[in-house]
Amino acid sequence: PSKYTVLQLHFIITRRFLEMKTQWGFSKFISKKVMSEESNGYIVDDTCVFGPEVFVVKKEATFTVYI
């Protein structure tokens, strides 16, 4: 068994980091109250560790939509 709590988020739309876009992310990932509650297991020995899993995808084809 893993010693880590895993929270998986799935999106229908792929989000990309762009040089010109300086802000990106979640407005609220998890509430401070939920995270701070010891019984939830997010904080162990006064420590919470976050680790990202990053996938690099090729640039998608571009297309033009005429309305």
Please name every residue paired with 12 in a beta bridge, in sequence order, or none if there are none: none
Take residue 29 and report the two structure tokens written for it. 């990932």
The reported pLDDT for the residue numbered 18 is 66
Take residue 3 and report the two structure tokens written for it. 């010693």
Give CA–CA dist 33/37, Å, rounded. 6
The reported pLDDT for the residue numbered 52 is 72
The reported pLDDT for the residue numbered 28 is 72
The reported pLDDT for the residue numbered 17 is 64
- The structure's pTM equals 0.42
What is the chain's pLDDT, residue by residue, as a tens digit (67 residues)? 456 555 565 555 556 666 676 666 667 778 889 888 888 888 888 888 877 777 777 776 666 667 6
Enclosing domain of residue 43: 1-67
